[in-house]
Chain A
Amino acid sequence: MIKGYAGRILEVDLKNKTFEFKPLDEDTARLYIGGKGYGARLLYDLTSAGIDPLGPDNVLIFATGPLNGSVAPQSNRFAVVCKSPLTGGIGSATCGGSYAYGMKKAGIDVLICRNAAERPLRLEIDGDNSDVKFVDASDLWGKGSYETQKILGEKKNHAVIGPAGENKVLFAGIVSNERIAGRTGVGAVMGSKNLKAVTVSGSRKLEMEDKAAFAAYTKEVRALFRDHPVLGNSMAAYGTAAIVNTTNARNIIPTHNFKYGHFDRAKSISGEYMADHTLVGTKSSCIHCPVTCGRQVDLPGIGTVKGPEYETLGLMGSNLEISDIEKIQEWNYLADDMGMDTISLGAVLSFTMELQERGMLDSGLQFGNPAGVSEMIKDIGHRSGLGDDLADGVKRMSAKHGGEAFAMHVKGLELSAYDPRGSWGQGVEYATTNRGGCHVSGATMYMESVGPFTINPQNYKLKSDLPYVQQNIAAAINSMVLCIFTTYGIVPKFVHEADPKSWKFRAAVAAFENSGPLFRWVNSIKGKPMLWFEKWLTLITGTNISSGHIQEIGARIFNLERMYNLREGLSAADDTLPPRMLNESIFPNMKAGHPLGELLPRYYQIRGWDSRGVPTEKTLKKLQVAV
């Protein structure tokens, strides 16, 4: 077995309560690494076209990668893959916490859950004895994600769902510690299988090709991270909330259901404001991560809990025109405990507020007014009253109540907290990403509107090349499985410290902006490993991995996911943005909308797809994507 892998897949049948350990396929591991990539391969092969995502034929796949189980910073995340009940296409989400580490300790690379249990069930996996217990979970059914983990034992490693997953809220997630695999409704699929929790234990050690070199190099990387302005400083101090003021100033923070990109009171929901007023000084981290980006707050009557991330502040703060940070903190906790994605939740709430504003649906929810929001979150989680409609997400809400023109989703997945009208490459990424309106499948906005070195986000330069390269990197990173925030470290310290107003800086940005095909070519070179994740993979698996390999593997995963979506009935017509993003101006006097139609043909061409967005045979052959 290739080093870095446990070498085992565990397949459980929840209906018949049987299990089987199978060998991991080395060829698949070489082609798709693990995590999201290996999961996509299994999903494609194990399911037939057109299955009901919430029926027993869907498979729920928990997949780790070769970096999991090591002490490399940011390296303990797992991926969940299944058919998405929200989009009908590929469902995938990754999650930190400690569960990925636990799976590798148990000697399991991938867990496949098939069928559906007849009654609430939980799994106890004992990796050392290769045993699985199917335990009745009726006593846990209805309990929140925090209480469930507490009852199961806080020192053990779990992946659990809350009431939202049990009630098949279409944007329910799967929780490990305080982290959540939030997107595409993976928690609803777990709930549809009556699976409340998975607990893993074991004492296996991760085998590596060159352990000594890995340890020495990881020490160097830790020092590099400590000294990095983002990974060692702003993320540690403010967490992801560090970007609120930046996205607000750049006009891309969602406001009033994405009508605007700027919120006058954004400073009151920023990371800096939280540090000054509500953070209690303690932090939470995924296991072995020195970045410790989770920051905690006190909630009256609850105690010390995880504070809201940027996405939550954007979608449930500015997007609802709420600047009461205490309220957002409370909603964040409620959503986490219910086990639901705060991005989709915030978007469905803002959509409902706009319906109210236009007199199309009387929910009582209004922009700028926190009244009724807490109750609605609970109603969504329990699918009671109008909450039952909101639990189906924005796309289905708009089909039922109208408002397609301002329904903020792509392929059914609600948009993250970056307005693509102020970040055109991010718009291309949203439109083409296989799981829908997601920002961690490329994070193009970092090079356009968020980071220290940003190209002009509103011209045609690099707007197809950049998402292509970024999506490939992200697909590979989500398959190792590493935290996507590691990519922020790629921009070196000296760039952060340079004056963006200087002519040298501006000349460098202009040169990058004009690099187009050269940029893609440089990234495609197969040479020696340069970046830390390339070196880690090389040292652990013994196979040389460079940026060219990362691009190739990422493109392979991306195309396989694309083929899955096409098989399930999605098409180029789904590579679009919400009408509001295409037709409305983000700021008075500015050009109306995102020019997606002018950018997509070049993107398809770069991807090796035909004009209908279908990967050509040549592309699939070159990338070794078997379909």
Chain B
Amino acid sequence: MRVTVEPTYDMSKVLGVDSFEVEDVATVAEAVEKARERVGDEFEKLSRVAAIAVNGVLVSHTKGMKTRLSDGDRISFVKAAAGG
């Protein structure tokens, strides 16, 4: 199974890509772990107040880090902001 991870802007700057794909992950927790490995030391700092969404839906509204993934899902790290 293959899913897309979409990091925050700051994480993307560290990684040099807008998004990346990971394979063989069944839950959000596993996908986040892959992102942690990829981002490296700065992951904690960069993800501290970021929420996580699957296909736009915050996992806090579903099963949290245990939320199960399907092929083609998009996991986004979201930072709240304001504007309009």
**Could you list which residues of chain A lie within 8 angstroms of chain B, going by C-beta atoms?**
230, 234-235, 238-243, 245-246, 248-252, 261-262, 264-265, 267-268, 270-273, 293, 309-311, 416, 422, 439-440, 443, 446, 450-454, 456, 458-459, 484-485, 488, 496-501, 505-506, 509, 586-590
Contacts and interface: CB of A to CB of B under 8 A. Distances in A.
A506 B60 CA distance: 7
From A248, A249, A272, residue with most partner B Cβ within 10 Å: A249
B82 A235 contact: yes
24 contacts: A230-B81, A234-B82, A240-B84, A243-B83, A246-B78, A249-B77, A261-B56, A270-B9, A272-B10, A443-B84, A450-B80, A451-B82, A453-B80, A454-B58, A458-B57, A488-B82, A497-B49, A500-B49, A500-B58, A501-B52, A501-B65, A587-B55, A588-B72, A589-B70
A267 B13 CA distance: 10
Nearest to B17: A267
A240 B82 CA distance: 7
A243 B82 contact: yes
B73 to A, nearest CB: 9
Contacts of B76: 248-250
Give the contact-size bracket for chain B: 20 to 34
Contacts of B18: 264-265, 267-268
Nearest to A495: B80
Contact of A250 (B12, B56, B65, B83): B56
Contact of A246 (B55, B60, B72, B80): B80
Contacts of B70: 589
Given A249-B6, A498-B49, A587 B56 contact: yes
Interface in B42-84: 48-53, 55-58, 60-61, 64-65, 70, 72, 74, 76-84
From A250, A416, A439, A458, residue with most partner B Cβ within 10 Å: A250
Interface of B: 6, 8-10, 12, 18-19, 48-53, 55-58, 60-61, 64-65, 70, 72, 74, 76-84
Contacts of B19: 264
Contact of B83 (A248, A310, A454, A498): A310
Contact of A439 (B8, B10, B53, B84): B84
A465 B81 CA distance: 23
From A246, A272, A309, A440, residue with most partner B Cβ within 10 Å: A246
Contacts of B6: 249
Contacts of B81: 230, 234, 238, 242-243, 245-246, 450-451
Contacts of A458: 57, 61
B51 A500 contact: yes
Contacts of A235: 82-83
Given A245-B9, A245-B79, A500-B49, 17 more contacts: A238-B83, A243-B81, A249-B56, A249-B76, A251-B53, A251-B57, A265-B18, A272-B9, A440-B84, A443-B84, A450-B80, A452-B49, A485-B82, A506-B60, A586-B56, A589-B55, A590-B55
A499 B48 contact: yes
Contacts of A250: 53, 56, 58, 76, 78
A454 B81 CA distance: 11
A133 B51 CA distance: 57
Nearest to B79: A246
Contacts of B74: 262
The 8 closest A-B CB pairs, nearest first, are A251-B56, A240-B83, A452-B80, A249-B76, A456-B61, A243-B83, A488-B82, A500-B51
Contacts of B48: 499
A416 B6 CA distance: 24
